[in-house]
Amino acid sequence: MKVTLIILMSALLPLMAYAGVSLNWSFTPQKVQVNNMNTSSFDPFAPDTQPVLTNLTITNSGNPTMIDLKVQVLWNGRYLIGSVFQSLDSLRTGMPWTLTNRDLITNYSSNHFEQKPNIPSISVEAAIKANSQFGDAIMAGYFPDGDLQLKVWVREFSDATWDPAIDDGGAKLFTISIRNAGFISLLSPGAQIGQTPPKVSNAPLSFLWNNLETGMDINKSVLTIKEFAPENPPTQANVELTGTLFYQTPAGVSQLSGFSDYLPFSDSYYYAWRVSKNLANEFNPYLPRNDANPGNMLSSNWFVFQYKSDSHDTADISEFQARLNRLNNNTLLNLYSQGFVPVGVIIFEGRTYSGQDALNLIDGLFGQDIQVDMRD
C-alpha cells in the first residue's frame, strides 16, 4: 500500500503544477448609451446609490488564488483617475465572482475586494484636475458629451508594483457613451399654441422641425397630430387632455426633421402637433440594438393651425388683398402688378396673425404713413 501511495502522489504533483492559474474577466454589457448623466450618480463615497450599468465577471480555471484588480477611469480615452484592489479571499476554480460598477467606482471594500495599501483611492477632485473641460462639467453636475470608460486588469496577488510591460495585457473596457439630445424646435406649419392659429390649405402639408441628431436609434423623432372641432380650438390648458389623435409616426419609422403626406384634414378643423423622442439616462440606459427600454421623453411645444379647403382659402385671400388695396400704398400696388399675391399671414412683434385678426391689424393702418420693404 505504501508503494501505491507514493506512485499516486507522484502522478498528482505534476498535474497540479500544470493546472497553474488561469484568470479571465469580461464586462456584460460592454457598452451603454445615454443622453444625459448626473455626476452624483457615480459618487465613490456612496457606491450603493450608483445605477448598476454593467457586470464584471472574473473566473479562474486553474488553482485557487488571491488576485489583484486594477481599475482606471478614462474620458475619451484619456486617463482621469484609478486605483488598485486586492481580494479578500481566493478565487476558486469554477466559482466566478461577479462585480458591478459599484464595486469598481468606490472608496470602500466590497464583497470580494479591498483597496491595496498605499494606493491612492478614486477621487473626484483628482478627476477634475486631470481634465479642465471635463472638470468644469463635473462642477456643473453633469457629464458632457463623450465616452466615459472603465478599464480593468486582473492578475494574481502580488506585493510588487504593477508593471505595465508585464501585467497590463488583456485589459477589458466598459464604455458609457453620452450623447446630448438637445432640444426640438418646430418650424411649420402653424404657430406656437397660445398665438392665433394661421389658416393652412396646402396639400400635401409638410411638417418641418429642427432637432439634434445623436445617432442613437432610441432617439427617433415621433410626430403626433391631434384634431379639434371648429367650436373647440386647442389651448395650452386642454391640448393634452382633449382632441382626437389624428396621426402618429408608426413604431420603427424614422422621421429625422420632416414629414409630408396627403392626410385627410377636415375643413375648418384645428390641428395641434408636436415632436417627441425617447431619452436614455443612467437609470434607463440604451443598449445598442435594443430599443425596448425607453427612458424619459423630450418633447417640443405644440404648434397649432386651422385647415381650410381651397375654396375658403381663395375667399379669405381675396378679402385680405382687398383690405391691403384700401391702404393705397404704391409699393404694394406695384407688387400686385408684378404677380405677387399675399398669403394671408401677418407677423407683427414676433406673433403670427391670420384670418380676422390679420384683417383687424390692416384696418388699424388706415390713414397712417406706411413704408413697405421687400425682403427675401
Which range (82-96, 154-168, 182-196, 222-236) has the least confidence?
154-168
Does residue 312 carry a pLDDT above 80?
no
- Position 263 confidence tier, pLDDT thresholds 50, 70, 90: very high
Is residue 369 pLDDT above 60, yes or no? yes
Output the pLDDT for position 289. Answer: 62
Which grid coordinates belong to 163?
508593471
Q: Report the alpha-carbon distance of residue 50 to residue 110 in Å, rounded.
A: 14
The DSSP secondary-structure symbol of 227 reads: E
18, 157, 314 from 89: Cα distances, Å: 22, 10, 85
User: Does 138 score more than 80 pLDDT?
Assistant: no
* Domain segments of the chain as ranges: 15-178, 184-308, 311-363
Whole-number Å distance between alpha carbons of 151 and 83? 11
Stretch 314-338: mean pLDDT, rounded?
Answer: 74
**15-178 against 184-308: fold identical:** yes
- 250 vs 365, which has greater pLDDT? 250
Q: What's residue 161's pLDDT?
A: 84
Strands, sheet with 258-261, edge to edge from the N-terminal-most edge strand:
184-188, 205-211, 258-261
Of residues 308 and 313, more confidently modeled = 308
Q: Can you spell out the DSSP letters for 318-341?
A: HHHHHHHHTT--HHHHHHHHTT--
| CA atoms of 77 and 73, how far apart (whole Å) | 9
- Check whether 7 has a pLDDT greater than 80: no
Number of C-beta neighbours around residue 18 at 10 A: 8
pLDDT at 102: 95
pTM higher than 0.75, yes or no? no
pLDDT at 357 over 90: no
Q: Which of 125, 129, 142 is nearest to 39 (CA)?
A: 142
pLDDT greater at residue 214 or residue 348: 214
C-alpha cell at 332: 404694394
CA atoms of 260 and 96, how far apart (whole Å): 55
- Statement: residue 351 has pLDDT above 60: yes
CATH architecture, range 15-178: Sandwich (2.60)
Class of domain 184-308: mainly beta
